[in-house]
């Protein structure tokens, strides 16, 4: 499936594979794909998956799928840990940071996603 949603005034192309579409239909429960942009000593992009309805700023992107963009930051710069406590990062002009595309797949029983800023 391919659809376009609007987040902070910017169009985001959302594309799901046939495996992801099948998993969404079979699950019966919706999924939220959260595009996390992490600011700290480095910048990291990661798609996290949560139950639908977890956040007020979710945008519907098809049957059973919602998406959101979340810039986050940490108070310190740990280099040896991938999972550190994060806090929302209030940025001015968030539309400048909202990705242009999001791709979602379902492989080996797990949700997988990536997003980017250059048209795919």
Task: Parse the chain into domains and list their residue ranges.
Answer: 2-75+85-116
Q: What is the pLDDT of residue 78?
A: 65
CA dihedral 12→16→20→26, nearest 10 degrees, is 80
Residue by residue, pLDDT tens for the chain (120 residues) are: 899 999 999 999 999 999 999 999 988 788 999 999 988 777 889 999 998 887 788 999 988 899 999 998 887 776 665 666 777 777 888 888 999 999 999 999 999 999 999 875
CATH 2.30.30 fits 2-75+85-116, yes or no: no
Residues 6+ apart with CB under 8 A from 114: 45, 47, 102, 103
| Whole-number Å distance between alpha carbons of 103 and 73 | 23
| Whole-number Å distance between alpha carbons of 16 and 22 | 10
Q: What is the pLDDT of residue 90?
A: 79
Residue linked to tokens 């968030």: 94
Q: What is the pLDDT of residue 63?
A: 85
């Amino acid at each position: 499936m391919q659809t376009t949603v609007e987040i902070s005034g910017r169009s985001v192309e959302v594309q799901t594979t046939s495996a992801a579409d099948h998993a969404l239909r079979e699950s019966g429960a919706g999924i939220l794909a959260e595009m996390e942009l992490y600011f700290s000593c480095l910048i990291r992009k990661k798609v996290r998956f949560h139950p639908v309805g977890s956040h007020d700023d979710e945008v519907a992107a098809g049957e059973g799928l919602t998406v959101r963009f979340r810039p986050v930051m940490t108070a310190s710069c740990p280099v040896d840990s991938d999972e550190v406590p994060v806090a929302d990062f209030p940025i001015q002009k968030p539309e400048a940071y909202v990705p242009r595309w999001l791709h979602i797949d379902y492989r080996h029983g797990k949700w997988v996603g990536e997003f980017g800023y250059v048209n795919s």
